[in-house]
A = this chain, B = another copy of it.
Amino acid sequence: MTESKKFLLRESDIPTQWYNILPDIPVKPLPIINPATKEPLKAEDLYPLFAEELARQEFNDTDSWIEIPDEVREMYKIWRPTPLVRARGLEKLLDTPAHIYFKNESVSPVGSHKLNSAIAQAYYCKQQGITNITTETGAGQWGAALSLAAKHFGLALAVYMVKVSYHQKPYRRSIMQTYGAEVVASPGMSTKAGRKIITENPNHQGSLGTAISEAVELAMSTPNCRYTLGSVLNHVSLHQTVIGLEAEKQMEMAGEYPDTVIACFGGGSNFSGLAFPFLRHNFSGSARTRFIAAEPESCPKLTRGIMQYDFGDEAGYTPLIPMLTLGHNFAPANIHAGGLRYHGAGAIVSRLKADGLIDAVDIPQLETFRAAQTFAAAEGIIPAPESSHAIAATIRRALKAREEGRKEVILFNLSGHGLIDMAAYDRFLSGDLADYSVSDEEIARNVASLEKII
């Protein structure tokens, strides 16, 4: 009865540096390239689009540790350090010899890990004297986090929100508006890209690709304005490493080291954030941890995508990134884990997967909701549909450990809570949800066009 449930750090334990994995990777990712010139990009090439420091971080492959600015650390104190929790309730329910831990990133005021990078990005924009920023958001986790950060640093923010989400997820829209952001349903009439799409198809419900195009266009055409992105890119993964760095200290408090590290996977921000700090001990040979990225069955880029140069957006406006991809025109099924509906993986994670340094599993939607309900019963927390993929993968491992009668120390990332996603649970409880698999033919057809890109 007196065993620790949570492992808690002090504010002074909030990391003072982010961990940059790029210098330590055995085989480096290929460079990002300019689709027009086919030449590798340099940091300066991205200055018109991103704050300069963020562009430099994107390309930094020499410094393993990057100082976290005082102003950013100060704002992390709103909710960090986050708890590491021993999921004794889940262990008991599964009757498993596995020890299950989770890093609880859901305690942030917007309910997810996205704030870790939103604060850093808003800070660097502010520091450079930028006054306006733009972004896109699908389900709204990233948009909500950036809205809070922008408010704190006094930046005007315009969020292009995928139209179908704008109408179906009014709570997320209201959160952004309460923090003072301007939220625009995408596609809309305020940009050329939006006008073109609406003219061709007045009933277009929007996509992440379209929203990115609109946000980029506004940033490029507005004085003193930059664009921001909540996942996929190296600098986003960098900022998220506070998750794993804290968890490393907390696992030490618990007197254990993870055999397996699990996180859900959309563009890679929460997976990278938890995994990279532990992965460095695999690189150095001092650990042999297994890393599992849990992606939706309906969007299986890590398990079934191909390694190719591809665009980051559907419209093909971004630089070309070397990625495991289903093709930038891949249209994932409309599952409720909106944050995982993305066609490709960031360059670093793609390289690691291709080289066998991390694993991946794809999980059907219904299994993720069943796992979520099990977790809510056992641990009291209703998880975000995205995070439920990590929980489902964890339950698979824990049951395997039971079958094989061996202890396994599992650490997963609870990237967010589901209290703003209850409409999804409602549909699950009503029996309205389905699984969506993807045929080999569909993937082959979709990636066929990629070989012409470069």
> Is B11 within 8 A of A178, CB to CB?
no
Chain A positions 1-22 with a Cβ under 8 Å from a chain B Cβ: 1-2, 4-6, 8, 10-12
Interface string of A46-87 (1 = CB under 8 A from B): 000000000000000000000000110111011100000000
Q: Across the interface, which residues of B come within 8 angstroms of A148, CB to CB?
A: 376, 380
Cβ of A417 under 8 Å from chain B: yes
Interface string of A416-428 (1 = CB under 8 A from B): 0101101101100
Cβ of A373 under 8 Å from chain B: yes
Q: In chain B, what residue has the closest Cβ to A169? A: B422
Chain A positions 369-409 with a Cβ under 8 Å from a chain B Cβ: 373, 376-377, 379-382
Cβ of A180 under 8 Å from chain B: yes
A224 to B131, CA, bound (A): 64
A426 to B425, CA, bound (A): 22
Most B Cβ at <10 Å: residue of A78, A151, A417: A78
Partner of A78, one of B1, B75, B380, B422: B380
Cβ of A257 under 8 Å from chain B: no
Cβ of A170 under 8 Å from chain B: yes
> Is B11 within 8 A of A77, CB to CB?
no
A414 to B171, CA, bound (A): 21
> Is A422 within 8 A of B373, CB to CB?
no
Cβ of A174 under 8 Å from chain B: yes
> Is A171 within 8 A of B422, CB to CB?
yes
Q: Across the interface, which residues of B come within 8 angstroms of A5, CB to CB?
A: 11, 74, 77-78
Q: Across the interface, which residues of B come within 8 angstroms of A179, CB to CB?
A: 376-377, 382
Cβ of A177 under 8 Å from chain B: yes
Q: Across the interface, which residues of B come within 8 angstroms of A111, CB to CB?
A: 419
Q: Across the interface, which residues of B come within 8 angstroms of A175, CB to CB?
A: 382, 419, 422, 425
> Is B78 within 8 A of A379, CB to CB?
yes
Cβ of A28 under 8 Å from chain B: no
> Is A422 within 8 A of B174, CB to CB?
yes
A1 to B69, CA, bound (A): 10
A179 to B170, CA, bound (A): 24
A177 to B423, CA, bound (A): 12
B-binding residues in A (CB < 8 A) = 1-2, 4-6, 8, 10-12, 70-71, 73-75, 77-79, 89, 107, 109, 111, 148, 151-152, 170-175, 177-180, 373, 376-377, 379-382, 417, 419-420, 422-423, 425-426, 429
Q: Across the interface, which residues of B come within 8 angstroms of A11, CB to CB?
A: 4-6, 8
Q: In chain B, what residue has the closest Cβ to A426? A: B174
Q: Across the interface, which residues of B come within 8 angstroms of A171, CB to CB?
A: 171, 419-420, 422-423
> Is B178 within 8 A of A382, CB to CB?
yes
Partner of A10, one of B8, B152, B173, B425: B8
A333 to B134, CA, bound (A): 40
A77 to B379, CA, bound (A): 11
> Is B381 within 8 A of A109, CB to CB?
yes
A75 to B380, CA, bound (A): 9
A111 to B110, CA, bound (A): 12
> Is B422 within 8 A of A419, CB to CB?
no
Partner of A426, one of B77, B170, B373, B423: B170
Q: In chain B, what residue has the closest Cβ to A372? A: B178
A5 to B429, CA, bound (A): 40
Task: Tell me whether A174 and B425 are in contact in the complex, defined as CB-CB below 8 angstroms, given that A107-B107, A109-B380, A417-B109 are known contacts.
Answer: yes
Task: Tell me whether A170 and B422 are in contact in the complex, defined as CB-CB below 8 angstroms, given that A5-B11, A8-B10, A417-B109 are known contacts.
Answer: yes
A170 CB to closest chain B CB (Å) equals 6
A71 to B1, CA, bound (A): 8
Partner of A419, one of B1, B2, B419: B419
A11 to B266, CA, bound (A): 34
A377 to B176, CA, bound (A): 11
> Is A178 within 8 A of B8, CB to CB?
no
Partner of A151, one of B1, B172, B377: B377
Known interface pairs A148-B380, A178-B373, A178-B376; 11 further A-B residue pairs with C-beta atoms within 8 A, sorted by A's residue number: A1-B73, A1-B74, A89-B152, A107-B107, A151-B376, A152-B377, A171-B419, A171-B420, A175-B419, A175-B425, A177-B429
10 pairs of residues in contact across A and B, judged by CB atoms under 8 Å: A1-B73, A5-B11, A5-B74, A79-B380, A109-B381, A171-B422, A171-B423, A172-B422, A175-B419, A179-B382
A191 CB to closest chain B CB (Å) equals 24
